[in-house]
Structure 1
Amino acid sequence: MVGSKHEAMHRLFQRHPDVFGRAFDALNLPFPKPNTVALLPNDLTEIEPLERRVDTLLRVDTDEGPFLLLVEAQSRDDKRKPSAWAYYPAHVHAKYDLHPVLLVVCQDTATAAWAAGPQHIGPRQWASLVVRPLVLGPHNVRPVTELQEAVSDIPLATLSAITHANDPGIGDILKTLATALQRVDEDDALIFAELTELGLGKSPAGRLWRQLMTVDLSFFRSETSQRLRAQARTEGRAEGRAEGLAVAVIHTLERNGITITAAARERITSCTEPERLLDWLDKSITASTVDSLFEDPA
């Protein structure tokens, strides 16, 4: 069964297949700039009852000629994968008469090192097949933490967030992406917010992302956000947004085990300034006491 991380990567490359080109540019890999990119059927099953389905299959046309890009998301090493990875390029090469490149996207360096191989298929004396995927992961995808860069290239910023899910600095990456999504078209923002949530799954980074998405209620699909959006519709958008942010601040503090005094709770829930509430929400993620929310940085 395809998991949420696979689904997120699949949909990211489906919707924005040119993102791989910008990722490759950052790595100085010798691939020509794509002119057009076309999505091809990803079902590689033949007559035999053995299902073979690559996550994403793309045809990339360049000035130097076309090639095929097969995209796989991999979360751990799997001894069954090398045979599938050998099958995919051989099958599409025979079917389309184009040279394939297998791209594997990972979220940790250990899996990335294993996936990079080379994977040998055959007896130790003579390998008949050698599988050598191109791997993207936290070791070579640069973390996007500059707001302007994230706004200018949301797909690449999303890929950066997903591949760095286990990094200590993931908080800065996710905050940058969350802020960038507030500055782009709402429909696009909703798509990339959902892709990021799928890609991060139930990891600590995924929980942090869901907290950040509570800030903009239209981006976050959960029971909490549904209740908050209902409040916004009933009481007006501005007032509902402020109340939603207040609930998010309190929810984040409680999840982190912070004791909230009655006075502090009243101060948070009675605040009607979204910018102040956003500042408190940022602080609540790492706060050690509720009073630290209200401290002046100066």
Structure 2
Amino acid sequence: MPVERRADSVVVVRDEAGAATLAVIVEVQRGHDRGKRFSWPVYVTTLRSRYKCDTALLVICPDRAVARWCRQAIGLGPGGVITPLAIEPGDIPLVTDPEAARTCPELAVMSVVAHPEEAEDGPVLEALLAGLTTLDEDRATVYLNYVFNSLPTVTAKRLEEMVTTIQDFEHLGEKYFSHWLAKGRTEGHAEGEIDAILSVLETRGLEIPDDVSERIHQCQDLDQLRTWVRRAVTVTSAHELFTE
């Protein structure tokens, strides 16, 4: 099976002529898993052989302890070592400059999620919204759903107010998010959360089997649905949504 099917994600950087210059394997790791110390080198060497270029393993971690474990060098035997690169929330910069957010809206999204306390400050949320205005409707909606479901209630309420009341962002709320704000944030309405889960899975290119879709649509528990929204961002298959 191709390495792309085993790793969470593979990104290949190419030059103007189309030649691969760097291949990056992206993995999400939530805890210690000794088996990864043996499977990760396989990903790296297989991808390096396939694209004939430098290859890196990038691991996204939920906290510092897991990142510390992931960063440990993996010895392959005499003279052979692979050292994963690991990112935890503390490594993600705080984006407060709207222009920087427009240049890289995904970084602005991760900035808000990684720094929820600082996100209560207006400039952080304003930068996020500035970045979202540069995106197409589907992607902007997915990102905003992810942010709303990751932030503390008070901060999420502040963001909702900004989208609907600040003149600079009113058009953004009306054009992209009015449906979500009307349904996903209204007590007792689960449709917005269901749409968010399915949108995230579809945007990430994951197959949604009929049994998964049926279970999601039948759920009316808002807390459970919001948990599935958060999981949808990192799972490698739709069935993993239901793994406790």
Relative to the length of structure 1, the TM-score reads 0.45
- Structure with the largest fraction of helix: 2
Of 130, 144, 166, which aligns to 2:95?
144
Q: Equivalent of 2:23, from 43, 68, 73?
A: 68
**What is the 5 A alignment of 1:249-268?**
none
Say whether the 8 Å CA contact 1:142–1:160 is kept in structure 2.
yes
Q: Which residue of 1 aligns with 2:65?
A: 110
CA distance in 2, matches of 1:207, 1:81: 38
Q: Which blocks of at least 5 consecutive residues in structure 2 are unaligned?
A: 164-172, 187-244
Structure 2 counterparts to residues 273-288 of structure 1, below 5 A: none
- How far did 1:131 drift? 2.9
Residue 101 of structure 1: how far off its partner (Å): 1.1
Select which of 129, 139, 147 maps to 1:179: 129
Distance 1:89 1:201 in 2: 35
Describe the superposition over 1:181-237 as per-residue Cα deviations: whole angstroms up to 9, x where unpaired: 46x24625x514413544x59544589448725732523664843798xxxxxxxxx
Verify the 8 A CA contact 1:178 1:213 in the aligned structure 2: no
- Counting aligned pairs with the same residue, the percent is 21
SS at structure 2 position matched to 1:77: coil
Structure 2 CA distance, aligned partners of 1:77 and 1:196?
A: 30
Q: 1:68 to 1:148 in 2, by over 3 A?
A: closer
| Pairing 1:58–2:7 present | no
How many pairs does the alignment contain?
173
Structure 2 residue corresponding to 1:101, chosen from 50, 53, 56? 56
State the Cα deviation string for residues 43-82 of structure 1 (Å, max 9, x = none): 417xxxxx62332332333899812122223333333322
Q: 2:45 — aligned with what?
A: 90
Give the superposition deviation at 1:177: 4.0
Work out whether residues 22 and 55 of structure 2, in 8 Å CA contact, stay in contact via their aligned partners in 1.
yes
**How much has 1:144 moved relative to structure 2?**
0.5
Please tell me whether the aligned partners of residues 197 and 209 of structure 1 are also in contact (alpha carbons under 8 angstroms): no
1:218-233 alignment, distance < 5 Å:
218-219=176-177, 222=180, 224-225=182-183
Kindly indicate whether residue 108 of structure 2 is the aligned counterpart of residue 157 of structure 1. yes
Length-normalised TM-score, structure 2? 0.53
Runs of 4+ in 1 over 6 A off after TM superposition: 62-65
Q: Distance in 2 between matches of 1:146 and 1:171?
A: 15
Q: Where does structure 1 lack aligned partners over 5 or more consecutive residues?
A: 1-41, 46-50, 229-298
Counterpart amino acid of 1:138? P
The answer to whether the 8 Å contact 2:67/2:87 transfers is: yes
Secondary structure of the corresponding residue to residue 136 of structure 2: helix
* 1:44–1:152 distance in 2 versus 1, CA, 3 Å: closer
Q: Root-mean-square deviation (CA), in Å?
A: 4.0
